[in-house]
Chains A and B, each alone.
Chain A
Amino acid sequence: MNNTNLVFRRVHLYLGMLLIPWVLIYALSTFTFNHRDWFRRQFNQPDSWTQLWKKEFKADVPRQQPKLKEWARSVLDENGIKGAFNVRQNRRSVLINLIQFRNPIRVTYQKNESRLQAEQKRTTLAEMMARMHVRHGYGRGGVLYSGWAFVVDVVCFAFIAWTITGLYLWWKLPSTRKAGWVAILSGLATFLALIFTM
Chain B
Amino acid sequence: MAHEPTKKKIAWSKLTRRTHMYLALFLTPWMVVYALSSFIFNHHAFFSGGKPLAQFEKVAELPYEAVFSDDIEPREAGLQILRDLDREGAFWVGQNQKLTAERFTVNRNRAIGPERIHYYPQENKVIIERQKTTTASLLVGLHLKHGTGHPGIAANLWGIILDLVIVGMLFWVLSGVWMWLEIAPARLWGAVSVLSGIGLFLLFMFTV
* Residues of A participating in the B interface, judged by any CB pair closer than 8 Å: 10, 13-24, 26-28, 30-31, 33-36, 100-102, 132, 135-138, 141, 144-145, 147-149, 151-153, 155-157, 159-160, 162-163, 166-167, 169-170, 176, 179-180, 183-184, 186-188, 190-191, 193-198
What CA separation (Å) do A85 and B166 show in the bound complex?
31
What CA separation (Å) do A24 and B177 show in the bound complex?
13
Q: Is the CB of A13 within 8 A of B180?
A: yes
**Interface residue from A15, A21, A155 paired with B38 (Cβ < 8 Å):** A155
Q: Is the CB of A163 within 8 A of B38?
A: no
Q: Does B21 contact A (CB under 8 A)?
A: yes
A-B residue pairs in contact (CB < 8 Å), sample of 22: A18-B197, A20-B197, A21-B197, A21-B198, A24-B169, A24-B170, A27-B169, A137-B42, A141-B208, A144-B203, A144-B208, A151-B204, A155-B35, A156-B39, A163-B24, A163-B32, A166-B21, A166-B24, A180-B25, A183-B23, A188-B29, A190-B157
Contacts A137-B41, A156-B39, A198-B90 hold; do A144 and B176 have CB atoms under 8 A apart?
Answer: no
Q: Is the CB of A159 within 8 A of B208?
A: no
What CA separation (Å) do A23 and B165 show in the bound complex?
11
Contacts A34-B166, A153-B42, A190-B161 hold; do A198 and B110 have CB atoms under 8 A apart?
Answer: yes
What CA separation (Å) do A1 and B148 show in the bound complex?
45
Q: Interface size (B, Cβ < 8 Å)?
A: 71
Which A residue's beta carbon lies closest to that of B37?
A156
Contacts A22-B201, A27-B170, A36-B147 hold; do A136 and B30 have CB atoms under 8 A apart?
Answer: no
What CA separation (Å) do A102 and B176 show in the bound complex?
29
Q: Is the CB of A144 within 8 A of B44?
A: no
* Interface of chain B residues 109 through 159 with chain A (CB within 8 A): 109-112, 138, 142, 145-148, 152-155, 157-159
B207 to A: closest C-beta gap in Å: 5
Chain B contacts for A24, CB-based, 8 A:
169-170, 173
Chain B contacts for A102, CB-based, 8 A:
205-206
Chain A contacts for B163, CB-based, 8 A:
31, 34
Q: Does B59 contact A (CB under 8 A)?
A: no
Q: Is the CB of B21 within 8 A of A156?
A: no
Contacts A176-B18, A187-B29, A191-B30 hold; do A20 and B24 have CB atoms under 8 A apart?
Answer: no
Contacts A26-B169, A153-B42 hold; do A180 and B162 have CB atoms under 8 A apart?
Answer: no
Q: Could you say which of B39, B152, B208 has the most chain A C-beta atoms within 10 Å of its C-beta?
A: B208
Q: Is the CB of A31 within 8 A of B28?
A: no
Which A residue's beta carbon lies closest to that of B206?
A102
Q: Is the CB of B173 within 8 A of A23?
A: yes
Chain A contacts for B25, CB-based, 8 A:
166-167, 170, 180, 183-184, 187
Q: Is the CB of B38 within 8 A of A16?
A: no
Q: Does B26 contact A (CB under 8 A)?
A: yes
B182 to A: closest C-beta gap in Å: 11
A160 to B: closest C-beta gap in Å: 5
Q: Is the CB of B197 within 8 A of A198?
A: no
Chain A contacts for B186, CB-based, 8 A:
10, 13-14
* Known A17-B194, A136-B44, A176-B21; further 17 A-B contacts with Cβ < 8 A: A10-B186, A14-B190, A20-B176, A20-B194, A28-B166, A34-B166, A102-B206, A155-B35, A155-B38, A159-B38, A160-B32, A167-B25, A186-B26, A188-B28, A194-B158, A196-B111, A198-B89
B25-67 vs A: 1/0 string, CB under 8 Å? 1111111101110110111100000000000000000000000
